[in-house]
A and B are shown apart, each in its own frame.
Chain A
Amino acid sequence: MFSWLEKNPFFFTVAFLVPFSIAGLVEIVPEFAQASRPTEGLKPYSMLETAGRQVYIKDSCNACHSQLVRPFKSETDRYGMYSLSGEYAYDRPFLWGSKRTGPDLHRVGDYRTTDWHENHMWDPESVVPGSIMPAYKHMFSNSVDIDTAYAEAYTQKVVFGMPYDTPNGVALGSYEEAKALIYDEAKAIVADMKNQDVKDALARGEIKEIVALIAYLNSLSNERRVAQ
C-alpha cells in the first residue's frame, strides 16, 4: 500500500490528512463550549481597560509575563487564587504568556496600586533594585487610540455578546458616550498619578498610554471577577 501511495501525491496527501484531522478535532472541539463560559459576575473590560490591554499587547509584555496562576501552593502563596478557565472568557486574545522573566500578572491588581505602577513603569530599577525590566517612558508621551479601543469593545459586544450596558454593569453606549466614559475613567486614574505632563495632556484632551495601561493592570483583580 505504501509503495502505491508513494506514486500518487494526491492520495498520499489524503492519507496524511486523515490522522492529522482526527487528532486536531479530538483535541480541540469537545471542550470548546465548556471552556468559553464566563465565571459568575465577570465584568467586561471598560473602554480605558480595553485601550490598556491594547498597549500591553503592543509592547508584548506577554513576552516576559504570564497571566496564569497554576494550582500549586508556591504559586497561590505568591500570586493569589489559582486561575480559572471562566475568568478568561472575555480575553481575545488570551495572554497567558509562555515565559516568566517577570512575575505573573493575573492578580496584580490585588496588590499593586496606580502610583506604584507609575513609578515602576517609568523606572523599574528605582522601585525594585536589580530589576531587568525595561523602562517604558514612551508610554508617558504616546497617546492611546480611543477609536480602536471602541472598535474592539463594540465588536466584543455585537459579535461575541459581551455583556456591556447591562443594569449596574459596565457601560459602553454609542461612540460619543464611550468617549465621555473613557475620559471619566482616565480622570480617576490620573488623579492618583503625579506626572505633570500626563496631567496636562489629559487637560488638553489626550489620554497617555500609561494611564490606560495602569487601568488595565488594576483591572486584573478581584473587583472585576466577583459580582458586587
Chain B
Amino acid sequence: MQTNPALEYDYSISKLFLYATIVFGIVGLLLGVVIAFQMAIPQLNYLAGEYGTFGRLRPLHTSGIIFGFTLSGIWAGWYYIGQRVLKISYNEYPFLKAIGYIHFWLYIVLMALAVVSLFAGMTTSKEYSELVWPLDLLVVVVWVLWGVSLFGSMGVRREKTLYISLWYFIATFVAIAALFIFNNLQIPTYFVSGYGAWTHSISLYAGTNDALVQWWFGHNAVAFLFTAAIIALIYYFLPKESGQPIFSYKLSLYSFWGMMFVYIWAGGHHLIYSTVPDWMQTMGSVFSVILILPSWGTAINMLLTMKGQWHQLKESPIIKFLVLASTFYMLSTLEGPIQSIKSVNALAHFTDWIPGHVHDGTLGWVGFMIIAACYHMVPRMYKREIYSGKLMEAQFWIQTTGIVLYFSSMWIAGITQGMMWRATDEFGSLAYSFIDTVTVLIPYYMIRAIGGLLYLIGFIMFTYNIIMTIVASKEIDKEPQYATPIAAR
C-alpha cells in the first residue's frame, strides 16, 4: 500500500460525505436520545404535536443512523480509500468525479425527502425499509451511481490486485442491491384503482411470506452495511494508522468467504417461534452460531495486527477507537448467536435485550470505526494536524461509558422483562400484569437514555475537534506516513 508520489488524490467528494456523516450523526443520535428519554418520560412525546411521538420518530432515528450516518461514513471512506488502493485519482477521470458529485447530491435530496415523508407518517412499516415507493426508486438510482463509481474506478485501476477492503465494498454493493429490490417489491394502489394517494402501495407478499422477505432483508442489510462495509474500512485504516501489515492474508480470505457463505442463511433467527416453517427457524439458529467463526476471524485478524505494538494503544486515541471497535465487534458477534439459540430467543425476543445488542454493535463497532476513519482522513485531506488530543481522549472515555451504560441497562431490562412475562404464581397463573413489566423498567430506560446522551455529547466533541482541525489547526507540509499527527493540546 505505498502511495504513488506522482498522484495527487482528489478529496472533494470524500469531504462532502464527511460533512454529511457529521450532520446525520448529530441528527440521528439526537433523535435516538429523544426517543430513549420518551420511554422513561412519556410526556416528551408531545413536544411537536403528532410529529413528535415515538412511532413517528423511531423510523427517523433508524434511517438517520443507518442510511444517513453510516452510509455517509462508508462513502466518505470509499471516495478516500478507492483512489489510494486502486492507484488512480479523480483528477485524471472527470467522469468518475462527476459521478461522485451527482451521487452525493442525489443522496442528499433523497435524505431530505425521506425526513419529510417519515415525519408526515408516510411509511410502509417495514423496518429499515420504511420509505414509500417513489423514494425507493430514488434509492435505486443513488445506489447505481455508487456502483458506477465503484466498478468504474476498478475498470481504470493501475493496481491490478483488489485490496481486501474492495472485496467487502463489492459484496456490500451487490448484496444490498438485491436485498433492497426484493424487499420493496410492491403494488402502487393508485395505479390499480385510480383513487387515493399516489404514493401509497401495498407489499407484493402477504403475512408470513412478507415477514420472511423482510427479515431476509433486515438481517442482511445489517450484515452488509453494519458489517461488511465497516470491515472494509477497518482493513484499510487499522494498518494505515498503526503502520503494521495485516496479520494474516489467509485469515482474511477465510473470514471473507466464510462470512459470505454463512451470513445469508442466518436471517431466520428473527423469526424463531413465529409462523414460518420450523426448518427455517432451526437453520437460522444453526447458521447464526456458525457465524461466530468468520466474524471472530476478522476481529482476531485485526487484534493480532497490533501484536507487539500494544504501546500504541496508550499513545494514540485513534488506535484506541480502532481496537475498541474490534472488541465491540467481537462482543456483538458473540451476543447475536447466543440470542439465536432457540431457548434463549424464547426469552430475549421482543425484549429490550435486542436493542441492547444492536447498540453495542452500532455505537461500539460502527460508530467508533467511522469516528476513527474520520480522524485518520481529515488531517490528510486538509493537511493539518488534529486540533486536540486531550479532547479525543475525553471523547473516547465519555462515549465508552455511554455504551457500557446502554448495553448493561438493556441486558438487565430485557432479561427482567422476559422473566416477568413468563413468571407464574404457585397456582400456575401469570404472576404479573403487563403494566407491571413496564413500570419496573423505567429506571433502566433512564440509565439507557443517559448512556445515549453521553455518546451524543462525545460526538459533539468530535464534531468540534474536526471543525477546529479544518479551520484552525497547525498545517503540515507532508502527508504523514502512518500515525496521524495530533496536537498535544
The chain A residues found within 8 Å of chain B, CB to CB, are 2-3, 6-7, 9, 12-13, 16-17, 19-21, 23-24, 27-28, 31-32, 34-36, 54, 57-64, 66, 68, 70-72, 74-75, 77-78, 83-85, 87-103, 125, 128-136, 138, 142, 145, 147-152, 154-156, 158-160, 175
Closest B residue to A134 using CB positions = B45
- Pair A132/B42 contact, Cβ less than 8 Å: yes
Stretch of B94-102, B138-146, B269-277, B329-337 lying at the A interface? B269-277
Main secondary structure of the interface of B (DSSP, over half): helix
Partner of A77, one of B125, B195, B203, B430: B430
Closest 9 CB pairs of A and B: A88-B207, A148-B196, A60-B55, A151-B196, A23-B264, A151-B189, A58-B121, A85-B275, A134-B45
Within 8 A of A (CB), among B242-274: 253, 260-261, 264-265, 267-268, 270, 273-274
Q: Determine the distance from Cα of A195 to Cα of B175 in the docked complex, in whole angstroms.
A: 51
Decide: A74 near B422, CB < 8 A? Known: A7-B162, A88-B208. yes
Assuming A92-B202, A93-B202, is B170 touching A98 (CB within 8 A)?
Answer: no
Q: Which of A72, A77, A89, A90 contacts B346 (CB 8 A)?
A: A72
A-B contacts besides A60-B123, A138-B50, A148-B197, 15 pairs, CB < 8 Å: A3-B161, A19-B261, A23-B264, A23-B265, A27-B265, A27-B280, A31-B212, A31-B277, A60-B125, A68-B275, A70-B346, A135-B45, A136-B50, A152-B189, A154-B192
Cβ of B386 under 8 Å from chain A: no
List the A side residues contacting B354 at CB < 8 Å: 98-99
Asked, given contacts A78-B430, A94-B206, whether A159 binds B211 with beta carbons under 8 Å apart, the answer is: no
State whether B210 touches A31 (Cβ < 8 A): no
B170 touches A152 (CB 8 A): no
B192 touching A13, Cβ below 8 Å: no
Partner of B210, one of A13, A21, A92, A159: A92
Q: Is the CB of B53 within 8 A of A59?
A: yes
Which residues in B have their C-beta under 8 angstroms from that of A154?
189, 192-193, 195
Which residue among A88, A133, A155 has the maximum number of chain B CB atoms within 10 Å of its CB? A155
Contact, CB under 8 Å: A59 / B121: yes
B382 within 8 A of A: no
27 contacts between A and B (CB under 8 A): A9-B155, A9-B170, A19-B260, A36-B208, A36-B209, A59-B121, A64-B55, A66-B350, A71-B273, A74-B430, A90-B206, A91-B206, A91-B210, A92-B206, A94-B208, A101-B39, A130-B435, A130-B438, A131-B435, A132-B39, A134-B38, A136-B50, A147-B195, A151-B192, A151-B200, A154-B195, A175-B195
- Chain B residues, CB < 8 A from A128: 435
Min CB distance A124 to B, Å, is 8
B58-101 interface with A by 8 A CB criterion: 58-59
Nearest residue, chain A, Cβ from B275: A85
B49 touches A61 (CB 8 A): no
Across the interface, which residues of A come within 8 angstroms of B275, CB to CB? 35, 68, 83-85, 88
Cβ–Cβ < 8 Å partners of B126 in chain A: 93
Q: Is B154 in contact with chain A by the CB < 8 A criterion?
A: yes
Instruction: Check B209 against A35 for contact (C-beta < 8 Å).
Output: yes
Beta-carbon contact of A24 and B170 below 8 Å:
no
Q: Report Cα–Cα, A9/B145, bound state, in Å.
A: 17
- A81 to chain B: closest CB distance in Å? 12
Q: Within the assembled complex, what's the spacing in Å between the Cα atoms of A160 and B264?
A: 29
CB distance from A1 to the nearest CB of B (A): 11
Chain B's nearest CB lies how many Å from the CB of A181?
Answer: 15
**Most-contacted residue by chain A among B213, B214, B274, B283 (CB, 10 A):** B274
A12, B54: Cβ atoms closer than 8 Å: no
- A158: chain B residues within 8 A (beta carbon): 192
Bound CA–CA A35/B261 (angstroms)? 26
Mask of B167-180 contacts with A, CB within 8 angstroms, 1/0: 10011001100100
Complex Cα spacing A150 to B196, Å: 7
Is there an interface contact between B189 and A148, defined as CB atoms closer than 8 Å? yes
Q: Which residues of A contact B422 (CB under 8 A)?
A: 72, 74
Task: Tell yes or no: B464 within 8 A of A by CB.
Answer: no
